[in-house]
Amino acid sequence: AQTVTQSQPEMSVQEAETVTLSCTYDTSESDYYLFWYKQPPSRQMILVIRQEAYKQQNATENRFSVNFQKAAKSFSLKISDSQLGDAAMYFCAYRSSLNNNDMRFGAGTRLTVKP
């Protein structure tokens, strides 16, 4: 079974600085999808960025980028120029291309942004 591990329960970053959130996963599949979701306090979870495993190029969305290392099964999220509104729980998620109904989430990383 696929598992997703986020080894950092909490992280903090100074406003305008850069922070990297770690995520590793375990799978025997070669084709799959990886996601980072953001869940602000008492608000809904929203998609931050996604990566298809067959693509070697790291995905980028404005200030958010990933470092996808397929061989190492690592999928870290880098947030550049951190803003106060980035404070939230961040969840890494894995979804198989064979069974794309079952998305596995990590336990999350709580990000605090200091002014």
Partner 1 sequence: DTGVSQNPRHKITKRGQNVTFRCDPISEHNRLYWYRQTLGQGPEFLTYFQNEAQLEKSRLLSDRFSAERPKGSFSTLEIQRTEQGDSAMYLCASSSSGNSNQPQHFGDGTRLSIL
Q: Is 28 exposed, middle or buried (0-12, 13-18, 19+ CB in 10 A)?
A: exposed
66 binds partner 1 (CB under 8 A): no
Tokens 């600085």, residue?
17
* Residue 4 token pair: 């997703």
Q: Which stretch binds partner 1 (CB under 8 A): 41-49, 62-70, 71-79, 80-88?
A: 41-49
Task: Please select the residue that binds partner 1; options are 47, 60, 61, 114, rule is CB under 8 A.
Answer: 47
3-class DSSP state of 85? helix
User: Which residues contribute to the site for partner 1 (CB under 8 A)?
Assistant: 4, 9, 33, 35, 37, 43-47, 50, 52, 91, 93, 95, 97, 99-108
